[in-house]
Copies of this chain bind each other. A is one copy, B any other.
Amino acid sequence: MSMNNLGIVKRNIVRADRQAVEKLSRFGVATIHEAMGRVGLMHPYMRPIYADAQLCGTAVTVLLQPGDNWMMHVAAEQLQEGDVVVAACTVDNTDGFFGDLLATSYRARGAKGLIIDGGVRDVKDLTAMKFPVFSRAISARGTVKATLGSVNIPVVCAGALVNPGDVIVADPDGVVVVPAAVAQQAADAAAAREANEDDKRQKLAKGELGLDMYKMREPLAKAGLKYID
């Protein structure tokens, strides 16, 4: 038994149900995060490299060593249509692990985009390609190919635990992880949550107050809120 998970590529992973993924792709990150009971969100330092980037897919995970993108190439072979690469690093690092060549390769293999707790480069090209990336940093600093990490092991990426096959949804509000086993449930909950929002929006647009719509006046008074002049 190995004491660590380094140097491993797991080939067969159980991906979340395709229909559940498709359904989740219709909702925003904020809605899904709420629907799940407010878990699974990555740290807010993860930002899209262009303003309207968004993606939804199943995770192929990568554990990187700092300044080394060898495993990003190894991961390419494990990609299937609809996957999202989720790359964590064994230590805080902002080097540019990923650029337009890898993006070309990933797209050719069917990948929907990249989530990386590190840096990326060739941002101009990636933007022109409309290849969505959410990253901790942008950096021109390149990497070597010298030390083993792993592919498709559980990783901690930007504070969130990601298992291979989990659903990853990302938009300008952030990145959320939906465990494969609850993907359908989360999609249903998100749909339910969104259903009655339109009605609320119209009422609020007419000037109705949330105080009344959500019946907050009584609990606020009970909590001791005082109005003074």
Residues of A at under 8 Å CB distance from B? 1-12, 28-30, 33-41, 43-44, 47, 50-52, 65-67, 70, 73-74, 76-77, 90-96, 99-102, 104-105, 107-109, 119, 121-124, 127, 137-142, 144-148, 154, 156, 159-161, 171-174, 176, 179, 181-182, 185-186, 189, 197, 200-201, 204-211, 214, 216, 219-220, 223-229
Contact = CB atoms under 8 A, between A and B. Distances in A.
A44 B7 contact: no
A70 B216 contact: yes
Contacts of A47: 138
A26 to B, nearest CB: 14
Nearest to A95: B91
A74 B30 CA distance: 22
A24 to B, nearest CB: 12
